[in-house]
Structure 1
Amino acid sequence: MELDSATLLDQILEEGLITPLFQPIYDLTTGHIYGYEALSRGPENTELFTPDVLFPFAQAQGRLHELELLCRERAISRFAELQLPGLLFLNVSASLLSSPDHQKGMTLAILKELGISQSNIVIELSEQHPYDQNGLTHQSVEHYRQMGFQVAIDDLGAGYSGLRLWSELRPNIVKLDKHFIEGIDRDQVKREFVRSIINIAQRLRCSLIAEGIEHQQELDQLLELGVRYGQGFFLQRPNVLPFTEPHEYLISQASQRRRFHNQHGETVQTLCRPSIFVESTRPLTDVAQLFKKNKDVFALPVLENGKPIGIIRRHALHELFSTPYGRALYENKPAIAIASTEVFIVESTVSLSSVSTMFTDQEADLLNNEILIVKEGLYLGIGHLKDLLKRITELKIQNATYSNPLTLLPGNVPINHEINHRLLAEQDFYVAYFDLNNFKPFNDYFGYAKGDAVIQLVGSILRSVASTDDNFIGHVGGDDFVVIFSEEDWCQKCHLILERFASEVTQFYEEQELLEGGIWTKSRDGEHTFFDLLSLAIGVVNPNPKVCDSHHFVAELAAQAKKSAKQRGGNQIYQQPYQYHYEEDIPVEQARCCS
Structure 2
Amino acid sequence: MFRTAIECGLELELELAYRKGTLENYAELRPGSKLFLNISASLLGSDKHQEGFTEELLKELDIPMSDIVIELSEQHPFDNYGLTVAAVEHYRKMGFAIAIDDLGSGYSGLKLWNELRPEYVKIDMHFISSVDRDPVKKEFVRSICNIAQAMHCMVIGEGVERMEELRALQQLGVNIGQGYFLGRPTSAPKAEVDKSFILVDQLDTSAVKVMDSGDTAFSLLRSSPTLDPDDKIGYVSKLFRQNPELTTIPVLVDGKPIGVVLKSELLEMFSTQYGRALYENKPVRKMLSQKVLVVESSTTLSRVSQIVTNQDEFALKQDIIITQDGVYLGMGSVRDLLKRITELKIRNARYANPLTLLPGNVPINREIDMLLRQLIDFRVAYFDLNNFKPYNDCYGYSKGDQVIRLMGELLNRHAQGNNNFVGHIGGDDFVVIFRSADWQECCDRIISEFDDQVRAFYSPQDLQREGIEALDRNGNPTFFPLLGLAIGVVHPDASRCDSHNEVAELATLAKKEAKALPGSALFISRRRGRDDHIDPLS
Question: What is the TM-score of this pair, normalised by structure 2?
Answer: 0.54
- With over 3 angstroms needed to count, the CA separation of the structure-2 counterparts of 1:546 and 1:324, relative to structure 1, is closer
| Pairwise CA distance, 1:283 | 4.1
Alignment correspondent of 1:413: 362
| Pairwise CA distance, 1:330 | 4.2
Q: Within 2, Cα distance between the matches of 1:514 and 1:420?
A: 43
- Give the share of equivalent positions with the same residue, in percent: 48
Q: 1:460 aligns with which of 409, 420, 442?
A: 409
Alignment correspondent of 1:520: 469
Alignment correspondent of 1:371: 320
One-letter code aligned to 2:259: G
Alignment correspondent of 2:209: 261
Q: Within 2, Cα distance between the matches of 1:275 and 1:453?
A: 53
- With over 3 angstroms needed to count, the CA separation of the structure-2 counterparts of 1:275 and 1:571, relative to structure 1, is closer
- With over 3 angstroms needed to count, the CA separation of the structure-2 counterparts of 1:404 and 1:396, relative to structure 1, is same
Question: What is the TM-score of this pair, normalised by structure 1?
Answer: 0.49
Q: Within 1, Cα distance between the matches of 2:254 and 2:433?
A: 46
Structure 2 SS opposite 1:336: helix
Query: What pairs up with 1:300-339 in 2 under 5 angstroms?
Result: 300-304=249-253, 306-323=255-272, 326-327=275-276, 330-339=279-288
Query: What pairs up with 1:193-592 in 2 under 5 angstroms?
Result: 258=206, 260-266=208-214, 267-292=216-241, 294-304=243-253, 306-323=255-272, 326-327=275-276, 330-364=279-313, 366-375=315-324, 377-423=326-372, 429-486=378-435, 489-545=438-494, 547-578=496-527, 581=530, 590-592=535-537
1:170-212: CA deviation from partner (whole Å, max 9, x where unpaired): xxxxxxxxxxxxxxxxxxxxxxxxxxxxxxxxxxxxxxxxxxx
Q: Within 2, Cα distance between the matches of 1:579 and 1:311?
A: 51
One-letter code aligned to 2:332: G
Q: Within 1, Cα distance between the matches of 2:230 and 2:483?
A: 74
Q: Within 1, Cα distance between the matches of 2:377 and 2:249?
A: 48
4+ runs deviating over 6 angstroms: none
Contact 2:319 2:331 survives alignment (8 Å): yes
1:354-385: CA deviation from partner (whole Å, max 9, x where unpaired): 32232133244543320123455454432211
Q: Within 2, Cα distance between the matches of 1:418 and 1:573?
A: 23
Contact 1:259 1:469 survives alignment (8 Å): no
Structure 1 SS opposite 2:261: strand
Structure 1 SS opposite 2:523: strand
Query: What pairs up with 1:85-164 in 2 under 5 angstroms?
Result: none
| Pairwise CA distance, 1:458 | 0.9
| Pairwise CA distance, 1:480 | 0.6
Q: Within 2, Cα distance between the matches of 1:301 and 1:556?
A: 50
Q: Within 2, Cα distance between the matches of 1:326 and 1:572?
A: 78
Q: Within 2, Cα distance between the matches of 1:514 and 1:272?
A: 59
1:380-406: CA deviation from partner (whole Å, max 9, x where unpaired): 432211011112222232233333232
- With over 3 angstroms needed to count, the CA separation of the structure-2 counterparts of 1:265 and 1:477, relative to structure 1, is farther
Contact 1:437 1:569 survives alignment (8 Å): no
| Pairwise CA distance, 1:343 | 0.6
- With over 3 angstroms needed to count, the CA separation of the structure-2 counterparts of 1:290 and 1:562, relative to structure 1, is closer
Structure 1 SS opposite 2:209: helix
Alignment correspondent of 1:10: none
| Pairwise CA distance, 1:446 | 2.8
Structure 1 SS opposite 2:410: helix
Q: Which runs of 5+ in 2 are unaligned?
A: 1-202
- With over 3 angstroms needed to count, the CA separation of the structure-2 counterparts of 1:576 and 1:380, relative to structure 1, is closer
Q: Within 2, Cα distance between the matches of 1:395 and 1:335?
A: 38
One-letter code aligned to 1:520: E
Q: Within 2, Cα distance between the matches of 1:278 and 1:285?
A: 12
| Pairwise CA distance, 1:529 | 4.1
One-letter code aligned to 1:591: P
Q: Within 1, Cα distance between the matches of 2:271 and 2:221?
A: 32
Contact 2:392 2:400 survives alignment (8 Å): yes
Structure 1 SS opposite 2:348: helix
Contact 1:556 1:582 survives alignment (8 Å): no
Q: Within 1, Cα distance between the matches of 2:468 and 2:373?
A: 46
Q: Within 2, Cα distance between the matches of 1:348 and 1:256?
A: 11
Structure 2 SS opposite 1:300: strand
Q: Within 2, Cα distance between the matches of 1:295 and 1:259?
A: 33
| Pairwise CA distance, 1:298 | 3.7
| Pairwise CA distance, 1:489 | 4.7
- With over 3 angstroms needed to count, the CA separation of the structure-2 counterparts of 1:281 and 1:486, relative to structure 1, is closer
1:435-456: CA deviation from partner (whole Å, max 9, x where unpaired): 1112122223333332222112
Contact 1:256 1:467 survives alignment (8 Å): no
| Pairwise CA distance, 1:522 | 4.2
| Pairwise CA distance, 1:294 | 4.6
Contact 2:207 2:298 survives alignment (8 Å): no
How many residue pairs are counted as aligned between the two chains?
A: 335
Structure 2 SS opposite 1:404: coil
| Pairwise CA distance, 1:302 | 3.5
Contact 1:261 1:353 survives alignment (8 Å): no
Alignment correspondent of 2:130: none
| Pairwise CA distance, 1:507 | 1.9
Alignment correspondent of 2:197: none
- With over 3 angstroms needed to count, the CA separation of the structure-2 counterparts of 1:385 and 1:561, relative to structure 1, is same
Q: Within 2, Cα distance between the matches of 1:496 and 1:516?
A: 25
Contact 1:537 1:569 survives alignment (8 Å): no
Q: Within 2, Cα distance between the matches of 1:579 and 1:296?
A: 51
